[in-house]
Amino acid sequence: MSLKYKNGDDVSDSVGLLISILVRYPEIGTINFDPQSHELKLTFIVAGTFNELEINSFTKQLTDSVKVYHQLEKIKAKKLAIEWQTSDNYTIIDMKRDVDSLNRKELSFIIELFGIHFNQTLIAEVNDDIWEEDIVAQDELIGNMLENMKNGMPDKKLIAYREEGKVLVFNK
């Protein structure tokens, strides 16, 4: 399965990866790709504000869990960083990971940790139209595109987000 622009041209792996991740994981609000650092920044939005102690506790739990995952899978991550900010009645959490060591299973693991910790407060776009076969296809696409990006060097800074049920990708 490949992705195509409306005019029929093939979508690059970096653009396709961002689209597939947002389609597959509605919990992710936006994704940024930086080709210089070869990093993805995943942005999660949580309803409500949290104090520094609560966020630091979650940050430690998340980083410890991902580091244990890395040890078990023998992954040497170059970048694992979490930043957060509060805005009105929302908490925005950014997680940065290097593309070179990230894989589809770790991405699913991270999403699961956010879902468990923030349960009903994690903002996610509801998509009842996605079928189990679509999920499997998206997982396969994400895995393939992550592997392709490890070997290639995309040259564009990208940002992807959802708006009214559509995924939009822009050069940054």
Tens of pLDDT, residues 77-99: 999 999 999 988 999 999 999 99
Tokens representing 9 are 């041209």
Residue 3 lies in a domain: no
Closest CA to 106 of 137, 136, 74, 132: 74
Closest CA to 122 of 40, 30, 59, 48: 48
Instruction: Tell me the pTM.
Output: 0.87
Residue 90 lies in a domain: yes
Residue 2 lies in a domain: no
Residue 7 lies in a domain: no
Total domains in the fold of the chain:
1
Please count the other Cβ atoms lying within 10 Å of the Cβ belonging to residue 17. 27
Residue 18 lies in a domain: yes
Confidence of residue 151 (pLDDT cuts 50, 70, 90): confident
Domain hosting residue 39, numbered range: 13-171
* pLDDT tens string 98-125: 999 999 999 999 999 999 999 889 999 8
* pLDDT tens string 120-129: 899 998 766 6
* Three-state SS at 25: coil
At 11 the pLDDT is: 54
Residue 49 lies in a domain: yes
Residue 4 lies in a domain: no
